[in-house]
Amino acid sequence: MRRYVLTGTPGAGKTSILRCLAERGYEVVEEAATAVIARAQAQGEGEPWTRASFIDEVVDLQRQRQSRTSAAESVQVFDRSPVCTHALATYLGWPVSRALTAEIERITAQEIYERQVLFIRNLGFCEPTSARRISFQESLVFEKIHEQSYRAFGFELIGIPAGDLTDRVAAVSSVISRPDS
């Protein structure tokens, strides 16, 4: 089984690409941080990322989702990984927790994800949402931190340039559909 990570700056179009991949029959796994934020906001908490337990909640949900994926699917695409959570902790100024360290050690030692990471390049803007309260300038800083985190843990970034959604989906598909990737 090959598990690919789709990552990049907030608002780069990862979710749109994932939806298209799902329509093409790929098994996709949605971003955990957004789910943790949405759940907390539905319970009246406006900024859950300011709480000390936030990073560990994201790590826990990422691990649950990864372990629940079907072994029958030959290719899976994940919207972010624990390495992204490392980048998020760094960006937010939170310490890297024991749970996050252990999860990164697990995914690298067990080679859970392919070493080739699909890095979706920014579109030149970032539209804020209730879960994504970041300016375009801040998103560029976050993008650099993501690149540094992935490289530090030995992953190879495959850049998917800004452009038409169809072209971006085709670029991702050409990588993940290779039998010997």
Q: DSSP labels for 110-165?
A: TT-S-SEEEEEPP-S-----SS----HHHHHHHHHHHHHHHHHTTPEEEEE-SS-H
| 31-56 pLDDT tens trace | 998 899 989 999 999 889 899 899 99
pLDDT at 73: 63
Confidence tier at 149 by pLDDT (50, 70, 90): very high
179 pLDDT exceeds 70?
A: no
Confidence tier at 181 by pLDDT (50, 70, 90): very low
163 pLDDT exceeds 80?
A: yes
Amino acid at 59: V
In this prediction, residues 109-120 reach a mean pLDDT of: 96
| 89-114 pLDDT tens trace | 999 898 999 999 999 999 999 999 99
In this prediction, residues 113-135 reach a mean pLDDT of: 84
pLDDT at 7: 96
| 5-31 pLDDT tens trace | 999 988 899 999 999 999 999 999 999
Give the count of alpha carbons within 13 A of 115, CB side only: 10
How far is residue 56 from each of residues 59, 81, 137, 167, measured CA to CA in Å? 5, 13, 27, 35
pLDDT at 166: 96
